[in-house]
Amino acid sequence: MLKKIMQWRRAVRAGQAYTMQVMPARKAAKPSNLIAVLDWLAPLNAKIPLPEGSDAPYIQPGSPLKRIFLDRRAGGWAGTHIAPAHAVALRITLLHWSQLGPAGGGSYYFECADASSPTRIFCIGTVHQKLAKPPTLEGNRQVLLEAIRNAAAKGVKLLCTSEAFLDRGISRPGKPLTFTIDDSFLKPIHTAAKDHQIHLVYSVLEKQRGRIFTAAILTDDAGEIVGIYRKRHLSIPEYEDGIYPGSNWPVFDTRLGRIGLQICWDIWYAQGAAALGAQGAEIIAVPIAGDADPRHWDSCWRARALDNGVYFLTSTTHDCGGIAPSRIIAPDGGVISETRQPNGLAVADIQLPFAKQRLIWTKDGPCFSDYHNVVGHLSLTALGLSEMGGPW
């Protein structure tokens, strides 16, 4: 059960962004026992129509138009959010989740100020790569460089390419071609990312301290390495080649947003994407060799995006089955762009933070909430928010 600890309210203007925070005034309960909920409130004297197909025609006057769980910060909670259409007030409620322990003592204060819009709109892309003919290291690298040039020409700011593409068609079982992260052969790839001002995800077989990993590398638009992810779920041929599994699920901060990485077989399992989503990933980029089973890729890829409220960006290799497309999937599970053409490019403009509203039903009626926040915490009914009282 959730019990109300404190509550604040202030008038707002629809369409205006606000930065808000709830912080302890002195010694207070541990944040793990508390949550801070933001409600954008409708006018008291007007009925707001609900989407067509809803069970009820209107949101009741004074009820929440949209509900958001504020992000945890050191000692408190904070966030920057835009007041939705029809909103006339915001309400912040600090709640104690009694199942986790006592609320403790202390008091909290609330601050709110006008802010610039946090919305970011940019183009992302993914390529369905085809090996050079015949495959060579130099030829495959040229295919990769050409993909970067083509993507930049279409305005792409983040490009995902396929799994271990450079040595594909060249490595032999038991004798994979490997690269160190500072290998001079990789430098032209980083230079191309810098020259074309594009964030890039590409994959290699990485040699590190005598071990081999299947790695995904994220570079920024200055060609600098932002992060490296090492594949955790390996296929049997990878184990037979002496490849080691990675050990963590990192999320990387970039100028575009928070990006998580996975590789191929990882997405057969739900926990990796869930770990990235829990750390605030907004995009998950996935280099893939191939997948010949549409019952898998058409279901799992969408589910990973939908479950975690993230954009899901996959890049496949045409020469590895040629069936699974390279895709861009929205946080609601919908495919917004894809390609199966050899060296074809799929692109889409996206908006972050993802703000698609979902109609959520509590015991006492409907309210809106950001999907990411719902799956990132628990369902509103399970949390028992209707116990707060008021027009729920």
* Long-range pairs of 321-325 with CB within 8 A, sequence gap ≥ 24: 321/290, 321/291, 321/292, 322/290, 323/290, 323/291, 323/292, 323/294, 324/288, 324/290, 324/291, 324/292, 324/294, 324/297, 325/128
User: What's CA 66's distance to the chain center, in Å?
Assistant: 21
Q: End-to-end distance of the chain based on CA atoms, in angstroms?
A: 15
Q: Which domains does the chain have, with CATH numbers?
A: 2-118+357-388 (2.60.120), 120-352 (3.60.110.10)
Q: What is the pLDDT of residue 28?
A: 60
Strands, E, within 83-219: which ranges?
A: 89-97, 108-115, 120-128, 156-160, 199-208, 211-219
What the block records as the tokens of 223 is: 């060609």
CA distance 370 to 359: 9
Element housing 57 (H / E): none
Which has the minimum average pLDDT: 80-89, 129-138, 287-296, 383-392? 383-392
Whose CA is closest to 78, among 68, 66, 64? 68
Q: What is the pLDDT of residue 222?
A: 96
pLDDT digits (tens, 9 = 90+) for 169-178: 887 766 778 9
Which residue type is seen at 296? H
pLDDT digits (tens, 9 = 90+) for 9-66: 999 999 899 999 999 887 665 566 788 889 998 888 766 665 554 555 566 666 777 8
CA distance 41 to 234: 49
User: What are the C-alpha distances in Å from 69 to residues 53, 206, 280?
Assistant: 26, 40, 13
Q: What is the pLDDT of residue 33?
A: 74
User: What are the C-alpha distances in Å from 335 to residues 256, 312, 314, 329, 375?
Assistant: 21, 9, 11, 4, 20
Q: What is the pLDDT of residue 363?
A: 55
Q: With contact defined as beta carbons under 8 Å apart, do 289 and 316 qualify? A: yes
**Bond into 353 cis (ω within 30):** yes
User: Is the sign of the CA dihedral 370, 375, 378, 380 positive or negative?
Assistant: positive
Kindly indicate the confidence band of residue 391, based on its pLDDT and cuts at 50, 70 and 90: very low
- Report the percent of the chain where pLDDT is more than 90: 54
Stretch 355-365: mean pLDDT, rounded?
57
Q: What is the pLDDT of residue 132?
A: 93
Residue 259 has pLDDT above 90, yes or no: yes
pLDDT digits (tens, 9 = 90+) for 309-322: 899 999 999 988 77
Q: With contact defined as beta carbons under 8 Å apart, do 205 and 215 qualify? A: yes
Give me the chain's average pLDDT, please: 85
Q: What is the pLDDT of residue 282?
A: 93
Q: What is the pLDDT of residue 383?
A: 46
In sequence order, what are the beta bridge partners of 127?
A: 345
Which has the minimum average pLDDT: 80-94, 192-206, 369-383? 369-383
Residue 221 has pLDDT above 60, yes or no: yes
pLDDT digits (tens, 9 = 90+) for 61-118: 667 778 888 887 777 888 888 898 888 999 999 988 776 666 666 788 999 999 988 8
What the block records as the tokens of 212 is: 């081999």
Cβ atoms within 10 Å, residue 298 = 15
Which has the minimum average pLDDT: 113-117, 150-154, 214-218, 347-351? 113-117
Q: What is the pLDDT of residue 165?
A: 95
Whose CA is closest to 166, among 193, 191, 147, 149? 147
> With b meaning 16 or more CB within 10 Å and e meaning fewer, what string describes 119-148?
eeebbbbbbbbbbbeebeeebbbebbbebb
Which has the minimum average pLDDT: 72-76, 269-273, 375-379? 375-379
Q: What is the pLDDT of residue 96?
A: 82
CA distance 110 to 101: 23
Residue 379 has pLDDT above 60, yes or no: no
Stretch 144-162: mean pLDDT, rounded?
97
Residue 390 has pLDDT above 50, yes or no: no
Residue 183 has pLDDT above 90, yes or no: yes
Q: What is the pLDDT of residue 51?
A: 54
CA distance 361 to 55: 10
Stretch 141-159: mean pLDDT, rounded?
97
CA distance 299 to 118: 32
Which has the minimum average pLDDT: 31-45, 149-163, 215-229, 240-254? 31-45
Element housing 20 (H / E): strand 17-24
